[in-house]
Structure 1
Amino acid sequence: MGRPPGLSVRLKLTLSYAGFLMLAGGLLLAVVWVFLLRYVPDGQFWIPGPHIPNRSDLQRAFAPRALQAMAFLLMFGLAGGWILAGRMLAPLTRITNATRKAATGSLSHRIQMEGGRDEFRELADAFDAMLEQLEAHVEEQKRFAANASHELRTPLAITQTLLEVARNDPHRDTGELVRILHAVNTRAIDLTEALLLLSRADQRTFAREEVDLSLLAEEATETLLPLAEKHGVTLETSGDVTPTLGSPALLLQMTTNLVHNAIVHNLPADGIVTVHTERRDDASVLRVENTGRRLAAELVPTLTEPFQRGTERARTDDHAGVGLGLAIVRSIVRAHEGTLDLAARPAGGLLVTVRLPRAPRAPSPSGAG
């Protein structure tokens, strides 16, 4: 939106300094003037010299000197105000230059303002922190877009290859071809739905209501019980009522993803998945723990990155998902102002702890009617 040009802040401050100095000088001269009128006698008084002055002579001599003093104060105020305003606004100029660089896409620039902590230093530090977050977010989005493009291109390439084979070999068994195409198409649909869910969680556009995490844990384990039985995994749930505020659909998806991940990435046989909910003073906690192979410490933080499955085996597993399970969990937890902690178990496997804000206590009924 175009705006008409106005006075610069430096010029406004300069005029303010000069105006204040003129006001102070005018008040000082007014005090001197009042002093002359009140304490100098009206008649003639003796001062050593050839001429004996009176009050009128002093008044006539005072007026031009006062004007000269005011003119000097004006020039001094404008020059001094301009210099002082420039020094005071120098940090703001650095912040403005950094903002313009960021507007052109240069997010790696930092102000790094020196000196003690004042309003400009706090503004610069906050701006640097914002640039750091923006840069990390942009880099994350670039990696996500590249990974998503690769993952989406794979099923499309497979489909194209199968169709070319069918066209070149019309006598090929179509039943097997249809089965493979169905599996590839299902994977592409699952990936697309996961991407949409991830986008929805990042946008935080959902209504919040009270949700019991213990009920979500029971629903998720019941839904995934056939998968657990197929993998030879035992599901164990425990915990009391654990209320929080959020989207029931997103929180159920979060719980389901955690339990699904714990089942798939488990021991080949006799694995265990433990789902526990707990109500604490400061948070509502969901904990999902599973047995499995030992994980390297440097691998655990990367598991929440998109398309990081942790094992090569998971890429060929029919139930391994599309590599967005924990990434979706992280986005849902962030959208609910919670925290997500992943820790490798010493005996093997993973412990995932989700902490969400507790739902406020309902007001107790007052008075009996």
Structure 2
Amino acid sequence: MSVRLKLTLSYAGFVMLAGVLLLTAVWVSLLEYVPDDWDRRMLYENPNRQLLLRTFAPAAAAVMAFLLLFGLLGGWFLAGRVLAPLSRITDATRLATNGSLSHRIRLPGRKDEFRELADAFDTMLARLEAHVAEQQRFAANASHELRTPLAISKSLIDVARADPDPDTGKLMDRLHAVNTRAIDLTEALLLLSRAEQRSFTREPVDLSLLAEEATETLLPLAEKHGVSIETSGDVAPTNGSQALLLQLTMNLLHNAIVHNLPERGTVWVMTRVRPETVVLTVENTSEELTPQLISTLTEPFRRGTERIHTDHAGVGLGLAIVKTITQAHDGTLTLTPRPTGGIRIAVELPATAPRAEDR
């Protein structure tokens, strides 16, 4: 039984019940003014209850038949009008099920429960369409990046097989570099998937300690690039995965070192505490960047305005991983250009009370 039929029967039943109650009230009122005694010879001459019953019963039956018909037809019409928006929402749901995420309901009329439901459904479809498009773009880029090292390895092996006197040492070095890059890319993709699924255990973490650990780890890389690292800040307690937040800090610091001035560059790593949040900030010196350019830096496999090349030291997922880890920890990521050149990246996470040993 459809909802429209249920509403129709409910409306008709309500109308019939109201008619019965009304006729009963009229009948009871009339009985007060009609005598109960009667004489068969005077049946059609004086008013009495038997004569009233014979007159009232057919009229009441006709009224009830009319109310039944009116209740069914009126209920069917009103139920159709009320459920019309639901039919549009159902049609949109079927289209979305078949893969059409671009369709929108855009329900007109006043803002009622159905309008709120339709608007919420349109918002969900818009977010889902954007998410699917992003996933498709990411999958296409990832497949390309994973295929490239395999193609390079195959080419190197084919060249070595065709060369009667190949340089085995050089070939092994190049194959090792290509395979290392493929492994790094695969691990980055796994880390990105783990962060997106939030499949990690939360524990107390101090961002200032992670900043110090990342600085010590990447100090040789900074010295190799002629970059100095300056750290400052206070204890910044939060809750989350220590491994993921350390990876976040390492990615930020690595990105700041690699994309820096050729000589005498500087990286600043700072932690500070706000009333309800803690902030990890990483700044570097570099060429001037536009806001339009910075808005693309967190996209996977992007570096500035161009896609990364396979010979780059990174795999193009550094800031994309930072963004995903930040969102998985209910935080916000902010990228702003520095007036004198370079970029300022701030990760803001919910704060927790510091542990006793950190005070």
Normalising by the residue count of structure 1, what TM-score does the alignment of the two structures yield? 0.91
| Counterpart AA for 1:236 | E
Which whole-Å deviations, capped at 9, do the CAs of 1:320-369 have from their partners, x for residues lacking one?
31000001111111111111111111211111111112236889xxxxxx
2:322 counterpart of 1:329: yes
User: Relative to structure 1, is the Cα distance of residues 146 and 344 closer, same or farther in structure 2, using a 3 angstrom cutoff?
Assistant: same
Helix, strand or coil for the counterpart of 2:19? Answer: helix
| Counterpart AA for 1:352 | I
Partner of 2:120: 126
Q: 2:331 aligns with which of 335, 338, 355?
A: 338
In 2, distance between residues paired with 1:282 and 1:347? 31
Partner of 1:107: 101
Which whole-Å deviations, capped at 9, do the CAs of 1:114-159 have from their partners, x for residues lacking one?
1121111111111111111111111111111111111112111111
CA RMSD of superposed structures (Å): 1.9
In 1, distance between residues paired with 2:206 and 2:15? 67
Q: 2:343 aligns with which of 350, 354, 366?
A: 350
Helix, strand or coil for the counterpart of 2:283? Answer: strand
State the aligned residue count.
351
In 1, distance between residues paired with 2:265 and 2:283? 11
Helix, strand or coil for the counterpart of 1:244? Answer: strand
Q: 1:22 aligns with which of 11, 16, 20?
A: 16
2:244 counterpart of 1:254: no
Partner of 2:230: 236
Partner of 1:359: 352
| Counterpart AA for 1:288 | V
User: Equivalences for 1:81-92 in 2 at 5 Å?
Assistant: 81-92=75-86
User: Relative to structure 1, is the Cα distance of residues 272 and 205 closer, same or farther in structure 2, using a 3 angstrom cutoff?
Assistant: same
Helix, strand or coil for the counterpart of 1:145? Answer: helix
Which whole-Å deviations, capped at 9, do the CAs of 1:289-336 have from their partners, x for residues lacking one?
111111122111110000112277974776x31000001111111111
TM-superposed CA distance for 1:83, in Å, is: 0.4
Q: Is the 8 A contact 1:309 1:315 kept in 2?
A: no
Partner of 1:366: none
| Counterpart AA for 1:151 | E
| Counterpart AA for 1:226 | P
In 2, distance between residues paired with 1:340 and 1:21? 61
Q: 1:210 aligns with which of 188, 204, 214?
A: 204
In 2, distance between residues paired with 1:37 and 1:230? 110
In 2, distance between residues paired with 1:81 and 1:123? 24
In 2, distance between residues paired with 1:62 and 1:156? 95
TM-superposed CA distance for 1:161, in Å, is: 1.0
In 2, distance between residues paired with 1:62 and 1:18? 23
Could you list the runs of 5+ residues in structure 2 that have no partner in the other structure? Answer: 39-43
* Identity in percent: 70
In 1, distance between residues paired with 2:206 and 2:152? 43
Partner of 2:131: 137
TM-superposed CA distance for 1:229, in Å, is: 1.0
Partner of 1:275: 269
TM-superposed CA distance for 1:60, in Å, is: 2.5
Range 180-189 or range 52-61, more displaced: 52-61
Partner of 1:367: none
Q: Is the 8 A contact 1:295 1:348 kept in 2?
A: yes
2:219 counterpart of 1:225: yes
Range 183-192 or range 54-63, more displaced: 54-63
In 1, distance between residues paired with 2:310 and 2:181? 12
| Counterpart AA for 1:349 | G
Could you list the runs of 5+ residues in structure 1 that have no partner in the other structure? Answer: 1-6, 45-49, 364-369
Range 222-231 or range 304-313, more displaced: 304-313
TM-superposed CA distance for 1:59, in Å, is: 2.3
Helix, strand or coil for the counterpart of 1:281? Answer: coil
In 1, distance between residues paired with 2:353 and 2:118? 37
Q: Is the 8 A contact 2:283 2:343 kept in 1?
A: yes
TM-superposed CA distance for 1:51, in Å, is: 2.8
| Counterpart AA for 2:116 | E
Q: 2:193 aligns with which of 189, 199, 212?
A: 199
